[in-house]
Amino acid sequence: MTREDQKKAAAEAALEYIEWDMVIGVGTGSTADYFIDSLVKVKNKLDGAVASSVSTAERLKQRNIPVLELNDTGDLPLYVDGADEATRHLHLIKGGGGALTREKVVAAASEKFVCVADESKLVDVLGAFPVPIEVIPMARSSIGRQLVKLGGQPELRASFATDNGNLIIDVHNLKIMNPIEMEENLDHIAGVVTNGLFARRPADILLLGTDSGVEKITA
Ligand code: 5RP
């Protein structure tokens, strides 16, 4: 099975969590895109979806799934999204697509967070994938210096602006032995909007596409 097939299988397996009259949160990235494509099969069950990015909103609209604003819906029963890395503790690194802030907002507003990924995303310790950090533009250099003090190697994502008009710094080589503590430390740097560690609000369920089927990992 290819990695793409594993992503598709995981995305499809998330359909099981959809119930009648739900408004759900939908994430960003290639696995989330496969989920949107699968959603078409059950879209008559849905009242709509809250998108974690402009590109996801576009894809939902193209498939005639109503896109709603989180400000209008209130909290959501379900959020489905991918990840760049995931552990068996359901801690994640997200934001490879740069949508981490809206993803974190929607995840925080959701009762159940189902993460969908191919098996290459499963790691013992987070951090081989650089941690994306959304920063306000005027703070990028001072934040970079703080990140070096934390032991990381910051790299400004070239020619990229987030949906919120900010920049992304990808931080390499962080030693993430305690993801909750690191998430808090990164958030406390002045000018940081959000960081891509999802540990304080981890996933509730990880659906991992593997060669022998979809493995379900829960807390
Ligand atoms: C986007 C994300 C994605 O979920 C993450 O990058 C995984 O992407 P893919 O499903 O394409 O591997 O966090 O900001």
pLDDT in tens, the chain (219 residues): 999 999 999 999 999 999 999 999 999 999 999 999 999 999 999 999 999 999 999 999 999 999 999 999 999 999 999 999 999 999 999 999 999 999 999 999 999 999 999 999 999 999 999 999 999 999 999 999 999 999 999 999 999 999 999 999 999 999 999 999 999 999 999 999 999 999 999 999 999 999 999 999 998
Catalytic site residues? Answer: 103
CA distance 51 to 214: 25
- Ligand 1 mutation target, pool 12, 28, 55, most atoms within 8 A of CB: 28
pTM above the 0.75 mark? yes
- Does residue 127 have its Cβ closer than 6 Å to ligand 1? no
- Does residue 83 have its Cβ closer than 6 Å to ligand 1? yes
Under CATH, to which class is 131-194 assigned? Answer: alpha beta
The protein residue with its alpha carbon nearest to ligand 1, atom 6, reads: 96
CATH of 3-124+200-218, one of 1.10.1740.10, 3.40.190.10, 3.40.50.1360, 1.25.40.10: 3.40.50.1360
Sketch the domain layout of the chain as residue ranges.
3-124+200-218, 131-194
Residue 86 near residue 125, CB atoms below 8 Å: no
List of E strands, 27-166: 46-51, 67-68, 76-81, 85-86, 92-93, 110-118, 131-135, 153-156
Per DSSP, 159 falls in state T
The helix or strand, by DSSP H or E, that contains position 106, with its residue range, turns out to be helix 100-108
